[in-house]
Amino acid sequence: MAVKKSRIFKDISLSFQPNPVTGDLGVLTNERAITRSVRNLVQTGVKERFYSDVGTDVTDSLFNFVDEATGGVIAQQITDSLSIFEPRIANTVVGAYPIPDDNNFEITISYEIIGLEAPTQSFSFILEATR
């Protein structure tokens, strides 16, 4: 009889708040861990981390025009980055919708987690220039 292994994905919580019972660092698991990883990849600029090319150049695109064309460029940059740096996801769909009055974009990302019986994950956030 074959034994089916369940797959668990774990990442350290970036809040660095210790577990109140064990005193260990907090841990994110499965869907929450991957969602946090995807969001960190999108919001980290290339060369922002020492000795690493992890991240995207989407923040550089925020200083261009806030229109559909720039949204397409941002969506493609995010898709490319996720396909390279996040091997735990597949069937990624990224949408970047301009909000010209506020000079930012609403980013919507949906994906499936490889090796985990979970529904399609989706989240959205506002991407805005911080400088």
Residue extents of the structural domains in the chain: 41-128
pLDDT of residue 17: 73
Q: Which is nearest to 10 in space by CA: 124, 122, 108, 24?
A: 24
CATH fold of the domain at 41-128: Nuclear Transport Factor 2; Chain: A, (3.10.450)
> Cα(80)–Cα(25) distance, rounded to whole angstroms?
31
pLDDT of residue 95: 93
Q: Tell me if residue 51 falls in helix, strand or coil.
A: coil
pLDDT band of 3, cuts 50, 70, 90: very low
Q: How many residues does the chain have?
A: 131
Tens of pLDDT along 66-115? Answer: 788 888 988 998 999 889 888 888 899 999 998 888 888 899 999 998 88
